[in-house]
């Protein structure tokens, strides 16, 4: 689904042998259980049509954990039904397992859809929400159609799923559409097996379905004949609109007007972090971005994620949308409401999450009116409740392969398939970019992106979503896995939850990263794990992040790492990378080396200079770190690219962007790390690279040249260390994980070097490489220890 891998299980058909006695030679009956994503995707109507086309009798129904079918007829037709079932299933279905058993013939000639059956303690895979299909889109703009410009048009092939489901099985009564009684015409569609709205649970029309309301910033109704057309007028006049979507509110404004975009930034308290853009169609997207075929495939897929694509210089989208970046987050409309707005506006719109920075997306009308007051000028509301909050997914394409950066709408909650059975377990993930994972048997349900667990609102969202997943998938954990860091909110939650027979199991952060990558690729044998990120508590009590690990599913041995440097002020150094840069220079090159950097001297006050030196000397509030993310920050600061940040990864991203400005340029100075062997560990010395960076700055080398040379040095060092470890261990598979691998230059260059050296290289295929993947690794690693 969505042009990316969504789960690793394949369809298995288990067919118990049919009896071959003479009396059974003519007709047979079979009972079929179908497991997978088979509810909310038009599967029962498909089964009905297939059975009736083949002249078979019987029935189909949803249960709380699967779809069950009984059919009878001639042996040849029954066999044909079983063969065609997985081959011709609806495009949105994902069949994992089919079990076929012979049953006595009952003499049934008519085929029916039975009422769903609830079974206590059983769970079913839930479909994600799906972008508007071509048939619904055609109806939306056909003036004679009864759903002309109806913003809630949907069918069995598209529309809301996960965000409206309150329980299983997937029937209208178990969705937020339960309060909308279908009119006679919608009911006829719903009951007609030949209609594509046959058993479409969110089916609705202007007569009986949800409706829009436009209100001002105070919540007072705006008198207008057509809320949608009036919203377009407001957008054209420079207003900021909060509009209710599938999984929450989005803030929209005209992306071509700098003053409007800057006003949104000021109100949202988001000075620099890039906004996403929505455009009318793929043709319009090509005007703003240089799209590859893989980009276009992702944009046009049923998941319709945001795609980071190369931004065209001639695009009229103002640069304030994504300051200092070469790539633009672009998406196509994925609901009828979006299609109507973009069709009539015919200009690109900023579409960003309806929240203040780092808060959960607003979902309910009253909540939005309260939390987004002062940000939005007007609110376009509707009366269909949202049960699950759901951000937009974000992807990029590197070397022709899609990579996930944020997994939510269109992908979650599809499970990751496991290569073995696990007992029920909950893994609560990390502090930043949190997801959790509920796993049982061969399914790992990784939640949608939840955000950083730094606010009460996000913690409430975290706990409520865990409760929802436990209910939907009927998984009651027997153990809870968490990070080593004792101060993470998720760790505290896990320890509070652990009582009686429920064990809590700590899993080291980078071990979890690598295990996640292994599981996504179906690998169980040991690998060399390269874990590059900003921070994760190591087993020695220091902050890791530039790690080479010999890893299997249950254990991890540190085989290499960047040398340690102090991080003066801890979080203060992360927010002000010049502090990190000062530490690198002073620690590795000496205090006098600061005189070689006018940029760092200018960033420091005398008082801060002395404070940092004291912290480095005494270790007060100054943890030691081996983080690759912090090294990127330091190089960005020392070159003057970014000395202070206002979003996670800000400095490292802008350093990468400088390298993209001259990807073919090579530095006249070759940057090279030194690799020292200390006992059984390879320690990567940074001083030679840092010294050369300072020398290049002093001779006036441009930032793009330094950035390019630095990326090349990191890539070469990674390949060199992996080769040394492989020589010691004989391991030839490399797994790459961590937030630094959101850097497309590193992903491509490191992979190219490793493959040229004969290694098999694993990337994440379903989850992001950042901390959003950690919960999966925690669940699997902990399951090996229970």
| pLDDT-wise least confident of 131-140, 499-508, 534-543, 743-752 | 499-508
Contacts of 320 (CB under 8 A, 6+ apart): 258, 261, 262, 265
215, β-bridge pairs: 221, 379
Sequence-ordered list of residues with C-beta below 8 angstroms from that of 331, at least 6 positions apart, any chain = 276, 277, 278, 279, 299, 304, 305, 306, 307, 351, 392
**Which of the four pLDDT bands, split at 50, 70 and 90, describes residue 193?**
confident
Query: pLDDT tens digit string along 523-555?
Result: 999 999 999 999 999 999 999 999 999 999 999
The model's pLDDT over 223-243, given as tens digits with 9 standing for 90+, comes to 999 999 999 999 999 999 999
User: Please, what is the average pLDDT of the chain?
Assistant: 93
pTM > 0.85: yes or no = yes
Rounded CA separation 459/456 (Å): 5
Residue 42's pLDDT is 84
d(CA 695, CA 691): 6
Closest CA relative to residue 104, chosen from 42, 34, 43, 21: 21
Q: Calculate mean pLDDT across residues 372-399.
A: 96
Written in H, E and C, the secondary structure of 742-765 is HCHHHHHHHHHHHHHCCCEEECCC
pLDDT in tens, 202-216: 999 999 999 999 999
In terms of Cα–Cα distance, which of 347, 457, 351, 439 is closest to 394? 351
pLDDT digits (tens, 9 = 90+) for 635-691: 999 999 999 999 999 999 999 999 998 755 454 458 999 999 998 999 999 999 999
Average pLDDT over residues 90-114: 91
**What are the helix (H) ranges across 321-424?**
336-345, 365-371
Which run of H or E residues covers position 312?
none
- The pLDDT, as a whole number, for residue 96 is 87
Tell me the CB-side half-sphere exposure of residue 502, using CA atoms within 13 A: 15
The rounded percent of the chain whose pLDDT value lies above 90 is 86
Residue pair 155/203 in contact (Cβ under 8 Å)? The answer is: yes
Is residue 189 predicted with pLDDT exceeding 90?
A: yes
The pairing of strands 349-353 and 276-278 is: antiparallel
Split at pLDDT 50, 70, 90, the class of 16 is low
**What average pLDDT does the segment 108-134 reach?**
85
Whether 450 contacts 407, CB under 8 Å: no
Contact between residue 255 and residue 261 where contact means Cβ atoms under 8 Å apart: yes
SS3 content of the chain, % helix, strand, coil (to 5): 35, 25, 40
The pLDDT confidence band at residue 342, using thresholds 50, 70 and 90, is very high
**Partners of 268 in the β-ladder:** none
Q: Give strand pairing partners of 212.
A: 382
CA dist 397 and 694 (Å) reads: 33
pLDDT tier at 19 (50, 70, 90 boundaries)? very low
pLDDT tier, 6 (very low <50, low <70, confident <90, very high otherwise): very low
Report the alpha-carbon distance of residue 364 to residue 446 in Å, rounded: 24
Question: How far apart are the C-alpha atoms of 672 and 686, rounded to whole Å?
Answer: 9
Q: Which residues contact 563 (CB under 8 A, 6 or more apart)?
A: 588, 626, 683, 684, 685, 686
Q: Confidence class of residue 20 from pLDDT cuts 50, 70 and 90?
A: very low
249-254 vs 349-353, strand pairing mode: antiparallel
Mean pLDDT of 597-622: 94
pLDDT grade, residue 11 (50/70/90)?
A: low
């Amino acid at each position: 689904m969505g042009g990316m891998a969504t789960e690793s299980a394949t369809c298995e058909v288990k067919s118990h042998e049919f009896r071959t006695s003479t009396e059974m030679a003519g007709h047979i009956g079979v009972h079929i259980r179908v497991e997978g994503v088979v509810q909310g995707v038009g599967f029962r109507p498909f089964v009905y049509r297939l059975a009736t086309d083949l002249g078979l009798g019987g029935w189909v129904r949803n249960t709380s954990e699967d779809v069950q079918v009984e059919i009878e007829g001639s042996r040849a037709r029954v066999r044909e039904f079983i063969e065609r079932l997985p081959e011709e299933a609806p495009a949105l279905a994902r069949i994992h397992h089919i079990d076929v058993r012979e049953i006595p013939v009952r003499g049934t000639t008519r085929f029916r859809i039975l009422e769903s059956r609830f079974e206590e303690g059983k769970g079913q895979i839930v479909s994600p929400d799906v972008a508007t299909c071509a048939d619904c889109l055609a109806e939306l703009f056909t003036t004679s159609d009864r759903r002309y410009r109806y913003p809630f048009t949907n069918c069995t092939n598209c529309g809301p799923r996960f965000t409206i489901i309150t329980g299983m099985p997937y029937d209208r009564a178990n969705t937020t559409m339960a309060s909308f009684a279908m009119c006679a015409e919608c009911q006829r569609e719903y009951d007609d097996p030949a209609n594509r709205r046959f058993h479409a649970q969110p089916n609705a029309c202007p007569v009986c379905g949800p409706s829009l309301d436009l209100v001002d910033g105070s919540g007072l109704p705006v008198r207008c004949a057509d809320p949608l057309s009036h919203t377009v007028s407001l957008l054209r006049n420079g207003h900021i609109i909060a509009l209710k979507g599938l999984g929450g509110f989005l803030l929209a404004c005209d992306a071509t007007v700098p003053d409007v975009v800057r006003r949104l930034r000021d109100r949202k308290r988001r000075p620099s972090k890039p906004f996403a853009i929505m455009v009318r169609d793929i043709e319009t997207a090509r005007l703003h971005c240089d799209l590859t075929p893989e980009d276009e495939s992702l944009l046009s897929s049923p998941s319709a994620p945001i795609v980071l694509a190369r931004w065209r210089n001639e695009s009229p989208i103002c640069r304030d949308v994504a300051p200092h970046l070469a790539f633009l987050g672009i998406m196509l409309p994925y609901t009828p409401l979006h299609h109507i707005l973009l069709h009539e506006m015919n200009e690109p719109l900023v579409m960003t999450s309806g929240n203040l920075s780092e808060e959960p997306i607003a979902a309910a009308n009253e909540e939005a009116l309260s939390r987004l007051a002062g940000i939005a000028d007007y609110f376009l509301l509707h009366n269909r409740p949202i049960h699950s909050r759901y951000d937009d997914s974000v992807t990029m394409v590197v070397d022709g392969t899609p990579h996930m950066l944020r997994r939510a709408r269109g992908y979650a909650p599809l499970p990751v398939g496991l290569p073995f059975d696990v007992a029920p377990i909950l893994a609560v993930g990390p502090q930043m970019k949190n997801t959790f994972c509920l796993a049982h048997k061969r399914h790992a349900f990784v939640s949608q992106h939840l955000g950083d667990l730094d606010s009460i609102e996000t913690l409430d969202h975290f706990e409520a979503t865990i409760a929802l997943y436990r209910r939907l998938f009927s998984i009651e954990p027997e153990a809870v896995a968490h990070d080593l860091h004792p101060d993470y909110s998720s760790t505290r939650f896990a320890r509070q939850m652990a009582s009686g027979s429920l064990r809590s199991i700590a899993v080291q952060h980078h071990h979890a990263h690598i295990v996640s990558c292994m599981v996504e690729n179906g690998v169980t044998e040991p690998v060399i794990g390269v874990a590059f990120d900003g921070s994760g508590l190591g087993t020695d009590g220091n902050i890791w992040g530039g790690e080479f690990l010999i890893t299997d599913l249950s254990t991890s041995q540190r085989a290499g790492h960047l040398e340690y440097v102090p991080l003066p002020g801890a979080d203060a150094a992360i927010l002000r990378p010049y502090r990190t840069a000062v530490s690198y220079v002073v620690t590795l090159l000496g205090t006098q080396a600061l005189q070689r950097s006018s940029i760092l001297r200018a960033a420091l006050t005398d008082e801060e200079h002395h404070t940092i030196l004291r912290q480095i000397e005494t270790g007060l509030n100054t943890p030691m770190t081996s983080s690759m993310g912090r090294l990127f920050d330091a190089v960005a600061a020392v070159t003057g690219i970014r000395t202070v940040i206002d979003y996670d990864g800000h400095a490292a991203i802008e350093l990468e962007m400088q390298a993209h400005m001259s990807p073919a340029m090579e530095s006249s100075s070759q940057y090279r790390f030194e690799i020292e062997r200390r006992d059984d560990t390879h320690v990567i010395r940074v001083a030679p690279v840092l010294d050369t960076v300072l020398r290049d700055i002093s001779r006036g080398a441009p930032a793009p040249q330094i950035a390019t040379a630095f990326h090349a040095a990191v890539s070469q060092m990674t390949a060199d260390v992996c080769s040394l470890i492989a020589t010691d261990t004989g391991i030839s598979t490399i797994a790459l994980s961590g937030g630094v691998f959101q850097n497309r230059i590193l992903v491509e260059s490191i992979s190219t070097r490793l493959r040229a050296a004969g290694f098999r290289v694993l990337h994440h295929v379903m989850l992001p490489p950042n901390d959003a993947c950690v919960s999966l690794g925690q669940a699997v690693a902990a399951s090996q220890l229970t």
